[in-house]
Structure 1
Amino acid sequence: MEQQPFKYHIIALFILSILVFIIYTFANHLATPTRYTINKTAAVYLEQSYRIDPSKSLTLAKFLNDPDARISEPFDTIAWGLKSQDYWLLMKLENKSAESKQLFAHFDNPMIDYLTVYQIDNQGQLVNTFNLGDRQEQLSLFEYSVPHISFAIAAQSHSLLIIKIDTTGISKTPINLYGEAEFKDLLRAQTAIWGIFVGVLIMAALYNLVLYFGIRDRVYLIYIGYILSALILMGSVLGFGFYLWPVALQQLFNHYIVVSNYAIAFFTLAFCAMFLRYHKDKCWRYKLSLALLSLMFCLGIASFFIVEYISSQIFFVVLVFLYIVCITLIYNKLRSGFRWAKFYVISWIPLIIGAAIQPLELTGIIEYSFATRHAFLVAILCEVTLMAMALADRVRYQREKALYHATHTEQTKLLNSAMLKHAYTTLQLNQRPANLCLIRIIHFHSLSHILNQTQSAELIVNVAQALELQLSKEREFIHLENDLDTCPRIADLGNGVLAFVSVKTQSTHTLHANLSKVMKGLPKHYPVQGFDLQLSYSIGYCALDNENGFDSWLQNGYLSLAEAPHITSPTSPPKTMPTMMNISLATAFQNALKADQLTIYHQPQINLHSGKTIGSEALLRWPNAPYEQLNIESLILLAERTGLINELTLWVLDKACQDIAKFNYAGYTEHKVSVNLSAKNLMIHNLIEKIENTLLKHNVPAKQLKFELTESALIVNQQQMINLVEQLTRLGIEVILDDFGTGYSSLNCFVSYNFSTLKIDKSFIIDLPTHSANKVIVKAAIEMAHSLGLKVTAEGVEDATTQQLLRTMGADYGQGYYYSKAIAVDDYLLWLADK
């Protein structure tokens, strides 16, 4: 950590310690009033007894005349309940001092409906009657907000206070007696904390209203609803609401206090779900929140018509479910790494504690004190403060999120070219030599036709993770981002291209060797929905150019990629994957291959001069519904793009040799079968050995097997293809140049490759009798092939006129619908028998 930021951290911690000390001192003074009741500060002694009247028929005279029915215990042992009953309390006060005492009795429950206090002197005479409660008329705001009485006890005498409590709601009423000075201290403490609470919440509401108009996020409106609910609820529970609202309205709030409880619970849950963005997820937790919100809304409305002590008990049950749901929502976000909401999560700690203390104190489970009485109020203050911090943290997170999206790809979440450009600028400023290195997934663009966006992104991430592991073994590859957790070295440039930077000074040959070593460590297979996708890669690299800039550096890197371009004939459209091709079809195709559900059909090849059948071409078919109508060329292309072509070729080879054995068994020992080879098949390990083993497996002579290679296959890895053709020829297998005329091959291929036959593409044959240009091309091709010692097969013969024209031109063999379409092997044997 740098020295200057650390210094500021020390200053911030020092300021925080001062603020904590001030808060502690202030809170300590506010928490003291109930410690100085009259029995602790003056020579006044108390005796307490009480009686609970479920019948609500007891009178003052009956209460006094039946002492045996009273319970002589302190008032904190009263079983305050949520039920309709009266409470009669007796306090015997004895002043043993030589002076008269002016006392104040504080009844700390401003929600009592009716509270009547009778003062009886030592002669048993009724001295005063005091009527309090929020249903009483013509009381002052002071008496409504702070229910109390003032009375005197003469020196060396005693006095009785009889208190009758009649209410339908929360009945617990802590009673404290104070001297005049102590009562003023209590009022000062209450006024201070009430003022702080109201001031902070009103400022918070105004601030959030401004934020709403600026940001237009409805979460701020929900939060304001929470603040207003808290003001109404606490104003009723603590009494200061009479200073905020008209008396009639505050009395209404007191009568329907349970509705206020439902309101604050409603906004608490709504804010929790909205702030944590569950409305974006629409998951079961969000639906659970909506269900509970609906329930609370309905119960809140019903509370207008249900007796308070019954609706209160229902609310306490709902409160348990509220806690469970909110904790579930918060826990799930914490587990999923919702780190920006940490202050909001922390704010729930005092809120949950304070909200639990309030009902527990009101119902007598927790002992009453000034601190517990105001615990929920303090909890809300803490929550508001922490929420302000949470909002600031959320703004910071949104700024970081915007920066993240500017430097990472949307789909893969990997670094993008912006971070690569940043690295380039840094290297350029430091004048460090570097090489841009690229690795491309071959045919990734074609895979986009069968993989959806999510699957493509997962593939890139899988390869990137493996590449990151390989790069971590070498110190020459720099980090593109100083992230303490990941320190990534890779940028995703899109379309299956991953980029990274080497800063090691080395020769091009050494760098190529290092990158080849890295590439070997990348996954060769990737499973997706049950399909085993086979992968291959190409590499590229270029040195840092300080002159032409980043764009030129990146462009040179793309140009250096070692993948050969896909070349097609200008006269034919490029091969594209049909839109129907997807990963589901690829999986079904792979499963059909493994389950031996594919088959090969045979299309005969005829000697144009003798009319005899000299062989056939083995053509792939998928006879199972609904796949029998699929275009086979598209399936072959699908197999090439997904890496399935090698497995498919070996399967076709095995089936072709199996059929040759059938032909031999039927007596057609000179019949030859042609199998198509792809440039991809060069990747088959020990291909020649596998071909020999297949021939031996079925006891088939090599001369009865032929392989057909397309012109485009000759362009890729020419030397490897030349070696393959030579090896096949030595083995006794004929190799045919297929689809002649549709590629870019030069005459040099006839010299370099040891072909036995040239096969003219059907596009030149189908309309041969009426197409003068095709006649010239076909005749020239036949003469050229014969001059080089090659036989000629014409594909696409569909009528007798075309057959006769080809025979006149000197073509050797013909193939097409004129003789037969491709048919299954058993049908083909019957066809041979008829011929």
Structure 2
Amino acid sequence: MAVAILIFIFFIINTLASNLVVPTRYTIDKTTPVYLDFAYYIDETKDRTLNDLISNPDLLTHQPLTNVQWSFQQQNYWLFIDLENKSLDAQDIVAHFDNPMVDHLSVYRLNKKDELIETYKLGDKVKSLTLFQYSVPHVRFSLESKSIERLAIKIDTTGISKTPVNLYRHKEFVDLVRSQTGIWGIFAGVLLMAALYNLVLYFGIKDRVYLVYIGYIISALCLMGIVMGFGFYLWPLEWQLYLHEKVIFSNYAMAFFTLSFCTMFLRYHKDKCWRYKLSKALLTLIFLLSITTLFIPEYIAAPIFFCVLSLLYIMCVILIYKKLRTGFRWAKFYVFSWVPLIVGAAIQPLELTGFLDYSFAIRHAFLVAILCEVILMAMALADRVRFQRERALYHATHTQQTKLLNSAKLKQAFMALQSQGRTTTLCLIKIRHFNSLNTIITPSQGYTLIKHVAKQVELELSHEREFANLDIDFNNSPRLADLGSGVFACISTRNQNQHTLEDALVKVINSLPKQYEIQGLNLQLTYNIGISSAGHSDDFEYWLKRGYLALKKAKTNNDLVVSTTNGSNILMDVTLAAKLQNAIKTDQLALYYQPQIGLNFSQVNGAEALLRWPDPAFNGVSIEELIILAEHTGIINELTLWVIEQACKDILKLTQQGYNDHPISVNLSAKNLSIKKLAEKVENILIKYQVPAHLLKFELTESALVESHEALISLVNELSDLGVRVVLDDFGTGYSSLSYLVNYRFTELKVDKSFVFDLTNNTAHKVIVQTAIDMAHNLGLSITIEGIETQAVHHLLKDMGADRAQGYLYAKPLPYDDYLHFLKSQYSLKMLNSTF
């Protein structure tokens, strides 16, 4: 389709070109029996008159006008054309003077006896001419049959003096004007449309190079309008006449924008290297010289400009050559654009100075060259936009440091496979402890390690056809994406059982490097695998989160491979966190209570408050995951304050039911330390509900003590001063529990259930539990043992002297109403004695 369009465009151009005749081939001496003879005289003194030259014919040089030595010197040129009409018919003749920039052009018609017939005044200094006479200087007259006349032409100008003279019949002159205006229209139309289009691009892209390009177009349009004459139809007459006087300024403007475009297009303004500084210096010189042209004559400014033009070409060659060596493949059209510019720019001064013979084609060569250059520059800009788009797409789909595909490409592949209805199983491979490695190696070394492992993973995946290609190009078909932090991702598309996929992945990671040397350090590498199967309705984020959840479980459980299947626990996300926060605000949560049994008298003497979300839609969410979600999203403090207040409400209701000495335990985490003035808030809640402080307990895990040691000492002291009891929870699971008993004002210890599960058969655990009981009593602390599930363990703990016990043997966590019923009917002293 593109080739067909190109052929059609060339057909149109060819048709148009065939209709634009070359009129200089059809001058009057070639189409009619009119014979011409030429002579000229160069008046260096500028004081000769027509009568002087007529009375002294020996002063004239009888040669074709093409031999006139035109120059920028201040001198007058006298051209003489003798016309002899040998036909029997009168001839309508148009004399065309192809230099619309001439200041004064006087045309004298003389008869055979050199008597003056008529005088014509042309030139841009002459007032009251029509726009047509300004843009196409010409005179019309009729040459009678069998007659002889002479045209004496005086050219007096301070600028470009060369003025080709051609004589046409009226019909051929019309063809000349038609061809000339056709080319002018094409040139101006193309340049104006290019300027408007690039102005639109600038508003969209905000790249200043488009403004520079528009500046170049306008300067070229202005310069060609002056040189060719069509500028009279573009600007007000006064503007065009002023531009004629300052034509060298337009040349400098075009040179300025040429170098500016070259510098910015090739992005030297981003590099700030010595070439950029040199280009900037030359631009400054061009700007200053352009200002001087407003105050010095054209014949002085023109030679200076041609010298600067050579510097411009040299500078641009240096700039282009450097970028071509560094692989600026998108600059090819810009390089090609210089070919017509150099050729056209060389033709114009060569024609003006007489080194090239004048012709219609030569006269318009520079204009056509600029037209071609503007088109090629537009193609170069389009090619650069295409390259930048490809580069932006590459950066959007590849990691900047490792050049591997990223999650965006993984998502694109996932969506494509989902739309095809194919199986999509995410496989994540992680370098274990990669984040820890980053603390001892540099980022660049880390990226090198990732690329080293990724290369081997890619090689192994290429042997397994079940893994989908994430991208396809001419060089390779990568199947691996880099998700950062040493995590790689691939997609299995085979509909197979989970064990088969796991075996394939284990085979892959068994072939991965187990060691990697960095500056003499031999790193030991191990890997984890997380697998996530996606349903047809799953989105990418859900699918990916499930994979990371599997990786996390593999790390936590120290497993090689962990799989999560579709339909497992509800995934933790922002939506769930928002629902949790709304549940807090609307009291949709609930506290369940698990009783704590006093072993000495076998009666309930307290309970632990446990958070629950009764909504059936969230049955799949574990409370542990919910707490983690609250911590990660910053709503843990809001949740904790709700739990404390709800516990105080229930304590109040219990006291109203006659349970005046029934404490409730509430769990606190390290994250709760960020609650400002927590002790003060607790006090306010106690006062609000008129709850005695000793009926409220706070259970602190040892992990909280490790994370916030100093702040927690202060908090425990403040709570103790209020009369609130503080319990050390999960005692024995940490590494420094004994030091906490000295530094904190605890009133109770709570032994973790991990020591109770096989207490009757595990001698070591018996020793630990007995030691904890004795130590607590010796320190004046009470002790609670959790996780009791059998009567044997109950009796054993009672014999050991434990104060309280908690576990499923007595009751599971119960809603408040059920717990109240349990207190009233299930655990009377009599029933406890009969049971135990």
TM-score band (shorter)?
Answer: 0.5 to 0.7
Range that drifts further, 155-164 or 260-269: 155-164
1:421 and 1:550 in contact (8 A); partners too: no
2:554 is the alignment partner of 1:554: no
Structure-to-structure mapping, 1:467-482, within 5 angstroms: 468=458, 478-482=468-472
Q: Distance in 2 between matches of 1:321 and 1:336?
A: 23
Q: Match for 1:139: what amino acid?
A: L
| 1:60, distance to aligned residue in structure 2 (A) | 3.0
Verify the 8 A CA contact 2:37 2:83 in the aligned structure 1: yes
Q: Which residue of 1 aligns with 2:152?
A: 162
Indicate whether 1:421 and 2:411 are aligned: yes
Give the aligned partner of residue 236 of structure 2.
246
1:517 to 499, 511, 514: 511
Are the aligned partners of 1:436 and 1:541 in contact in 2 as well (CA < 8 Å)? no
Are residues 119 and 418 of structure 1, via their aligned partners in 2, closer, same or farther at CA, if it must alter by over 3 Å? same
**CA pair 292-443 structure 1, distance change in 2 beyond 3 A:** farther
Q: What residue is the counterpart of 1:231 in the other structure?
A: 221
**What is the SS of the residue equivalent to 2:109?**
strand
329-338 or 402-411, which deviates more: 329-338
Q: Is the 8 A contact 1:258 1:308 kept in 2?
A: yes
- Cα offset, 1:364, TM superposition: 2.8
| Counterpart mapping for 1:70-109 below 5 A | 70-109=60-99
User: Which of 166, 169, 181 is the aligned partner of 1:179?
Assistant: 169
Q: CA 1:185 to 1:427, structure 2 compared with 1: closer, same or farther past 3 Å? A: closer
Deviations 1:594-638 (A, max 9, x none): xxxxxxxxxxxxxxxxxxxxxxxxxxxxxxxxxxxxxxxxxxxxx
Cα offset, 1:433, TM superposition:
7.0
**Residues 556/198 of structure 1: CA separation in 2 closer, same or farther (3 Å cut):** same
Return the alpha-carbon distance in structure 2 between the equivalents of residues 84 and 466 of structure 1.
80
Correspondences of 1:20-35 after superposition (within 5 Å):
20-35=10-25
Mark the CA change 1:447 to 1:260 in structure 2 (over 3 Å): closer, same or farther: farther
Q: Which deviations, in whole Å up to 9, do the C-alpha atoms of 1:723-759 show, x marking residues without a partner?
A: xxxxxxxxxxxxxxxxxxxxxx99xxxxxxxxxxxxx
Contact 1:538 1:563 (C-alpha < 8 Å) held by counterparts: no
* 2:456–2:512 contact (8 Å) kept in structure 1: no
Query: Is 1:441–1:536's contact at 8 Å kept on the other side of the alignment?
Result: no
- Alignment partner, residue 123 of structure 2: 133
Shift of 1:106: 0.8
On the 8 A contact 1:117/1:163 being kept in 2, the answer is yes
In structure 2, relative to structure 1, the CA distance for the partners of 1:454 and 1:113 (3 Å cut) is farther
**1:194 equivalent in structure 2:** 184
- The letter for the 1-side match of 2:548 is Q
User: In structure 1, the residue corresponding to 2:166 is in which secondary structure?
Assistant: strand
Report the structure number with the largest CA radius of gyration: 2
User: What's the offset of the Cα at 1:477?
Assistant: 5.5
Query: How many Å separate the matches in 2 of 1:373 and 1:182?
Result: 17
Q: Give distance in 2, aligned partners of 1:204 and 1:426.
A: 39
Q: Which of 293, 306, 315 in structure 1 is aligned with 2:283?
A: 293
Give the CA RMSD over aligned residues: 4.2
| 1:46 equivalenced with 2:40 (yes/no) | no
Counterparts in 2 of 1:96 and 1:325: CA distance versus 1, 3 Å: same
Aligned to 1:519, the other structure's residue is in SS state coil
Q: Is the 8 A contact 2:432 2:527 kept in 1?
A: no
Which stretch has the larger CA shift, 411-420 or 218-227?
A: 218-227
Q: Which one-letter code corresponds to 2:471 in the other structure?
A: E
- Whether the 8 Å contact between 1:80 and 1:363 is mirrored in structure 2 is yes
Where 2:533 maps in the other structure, the secondary structure is coil
Secondary structure in 1 matching 2:513: helix
Looking at structure 2, the residues matched to 225 and 167 of structure 1 have their Cα atoms a distance apart, in angstroms, of: 29
CA shift in 2, pair 1:543/1:216, >3 Å: closer
Question: Cα offset for 1:232?
Answer: 1.8
Q: Which amino acid aligns with 2:544?
A: D
CA pair 519-303 structure 1, distance change in 2 beyond 3 A: same
CA contact (8 A) 1:232 1:241 kept: yes
Mapped to 2, the partners of 1:563 and 1:72 lie a distance apart of: 106
Partner of 2:315: 325
Q: Give the TM-score, by structure 1 length.
A: 0.60
In 2, distance between residues paired with 1:179 and 1:563?
Answer: 99
Question: So what's the TM-score if we normalise by structure 2?
Answer: 0.60
The separation in 1 between residues aligned to 2:455 and 2:52, in whole angstroms, is 87
Q: Following superposition of structure 1 onto structure 2, how do residues 164-563 of structure 1 map, counting pairs within 5 Å? A: 164-339=154-329, 344=334, 346-386=336-376, 389=379, 396=386, 399-426=389-416, 440=430, 444-446=434-436, 448-449=438-439, 456-457=446-447, 460-461=450-451, 464=454, 468=458, 478-501=468-491, 508=502, 511-519=505-513, 524-525=516-517, 534-542=522-530, 545-547=533-535, 550-551=543-544, 554-555=547-548, 558-559=551-552
**1:574-723 correspondence to structure 2 within 5 Å:** none
Distance 1:498 1:344, change over 3 A: same
Partner amino acid, structure 1, of 2:526: S
Contact kept, 8 Å, 1:419 with 1:491, in 2: the verdict is yes
Asked if 2 retains the 8 angstrom alpha-carbon contact of 1:441 and 1:535, the reply is no
Residue aligned with 1:47, SS:
strand
Q: Deviation of residue 339 (structure 1)?
A: 4.9
Name the aligned partner's letter for residue 39 of structure 2: S
Alignment correspondent of 2:664? none
Decide whether the 8 Å contact of 2:102 with 2:161 is kept in 1.
yes
CA contact under 8 A between 1:85 and 1:166: conserved in structure 2?
yes
Does the Cα contact within 8 Å between 2:425 and 2:534 map onto a contact in 1? Answer: no
Aligned residue runs from structure 1 range 731-742, under 5 A: none
Cα displacement (A) at 1:87: 2.4
Counterparts of 2:159 and 2:483, CA distance in 1: 68
Q: Distance in 1 between matches of 2:11 and 2:419?
A: 50
Q: Which moved more, 1:178-187 or 1:316-325?
A: 316-325
* CA offset digits 1:381-424 (Å, max 9, x no partner): 44444555555555555554554343222333321123223434
Q: Output the CA distance in 2 between the equivalents of 1:176 and 1:361.
A: 16
Q: Provide Cα deviations, 1:553-591, integer angstroms capped at 9, x if missing partner.
A: 63266358789989xxxxxxxxxxxxxxxxxxxxxxxxx
Quick one: structure 1 residues 292 and 454, their matched pair in 2 at CA, closer, same or farther if it must change by over 3 Å?
farther
Which residue of the other structure, out of 4, 23, 36, is the alignment partner of 2:26?
Answer: 36
Gapped runs of 5+ residues in structure 2? 560-731, 745-763, 765-836
The one-letter code of the counterpart of 1:317 is C
Q: Which moved more, 1:228-237 or 1:267-276?
A: 267-276
With over 3 angstroms needed to count, the CA separation of the structure-2 counterparts of 1:437 and 1:20, relative to structure 1, is same
Q: Secondary structure at the match of 1:124?
A: coil
Task: Please tell me whether the aligned partners of residues 424 and 534 of structure 2 are also in contact (alpha carbons under 8 angstroms).
Answer: no
Deviations 1:617-672 (A, max 9, x none): xxxxxxxxxxxxxxxxxxxxxxxxxxxxxxxxxxxxxxxxxxxxxxxxxxxxxxxx
For structure 1, the residue ranges without an aligned partner over 5 or more in a row are 1-8, 567-744, 747-759, 772-783, 785-835
Moved more, 260-269 or 304-313: 304-313
Percent identical: 55
**Aligned mate of 1:56, from 46, 70, 82:** 46
Q: How many residues get paired?
A: 568
Paired AA for residue 264 in structure 1: M
> In structure 2, how many angstroms separate the alpha carbons of the residues matched to 1:71 and 1:447?
93
Q: How much has 1:36 moved relative to structure 2?
A: 1.2
What is the alpha-carbon distance in structure 1 between the residues aligned to residue 219 and residue 281 of structure 2?
Answer: 21
Q: Equivalents in 2 of 1:72, 1:177: separation in Å?
A: 18
User: Does the 8 A contact of 1:439 with 1:537 survive in 2?
Assistant: no
